[in-house]
Amino acid sequence: MTPRKVLVVDEFDSDLVLEKNLTQHGYQVATLKLQELNLLEVVKSLQPDAVVLNLYAPNEKVLEMILTINREHSVPVIVFAEDQQTETINKVIKAGVSAYIVDGLEPPRRVKAIIEVAIARFHEQKALKDELQKTRNQLEERKLVDRAKAILIKSQNYNEDQAYHALRKLAMDRKVSLGEMAKNVIAMAELFK
């Protein structure tokens, strides 16, 4: 099994405690200073399994980076921070972190468990989001098919079953999905209005 790659972004001038701890637990670790990097470019090039931020408090720039990482790179983000204000915690959760750990890295032995739980939670949430998107797409396709069937019923005097089979045959003949064919029928109907 290949070791997980973890990108550590550290705001503190520390003695690399987090990097040493993760390396001892078998992770491949790259550590960078927060001020020195374009985090999005680094995530894109390294393609880590997780991004760990060690900072005092996530500012607006960091929150925006977390949002973009979640949107463009789909990787779990774990934040170790000192800031325990409710407002900060709410902002971080909205930004999409997988874990927000207050009061630093003590004890060091729990870091591996925190990261593994955050990664597992991230993948579970991603699976749920993917399933939700799939369901939304199916619902949207169903609406298109129903709308296309209604057009065929009205214009060709088909019953619902005939309209569905005609739509299906058109899709198969043209080697496109039923939803795509429904879009085409709707577009053609719009043209002839």
Q: What is the pLDDT of residues 123-177, one digit of tens each?
A: 999 999 999 999 999 999 999 999 999 999 999 999 999 999 999 999 999 999 9
- Tell me which architecture the domain covering 5-106 has in CATH: 3-Layer(aba) Sandwich (3.40)
d(CA 35, CA 58): 13
Q: Kindly indicate whether the domain formed by 134-191 is annotated with CATH number 3.40.718.10.
A: no
Q: What is the largest CA-CA distance in the chain?
A: 78
| Sequence ranges of the domains in the chain | 5-106, 134-191
Question: Taking the model in full, what pTM does it have?
Answer: 0.73
d(CA 116, CA 72): 22
Cα 103 versus chain centre, distance: 27
Q: Do the two domains 5-106 and 134-191 of this chain adopt the same fold?
A: no
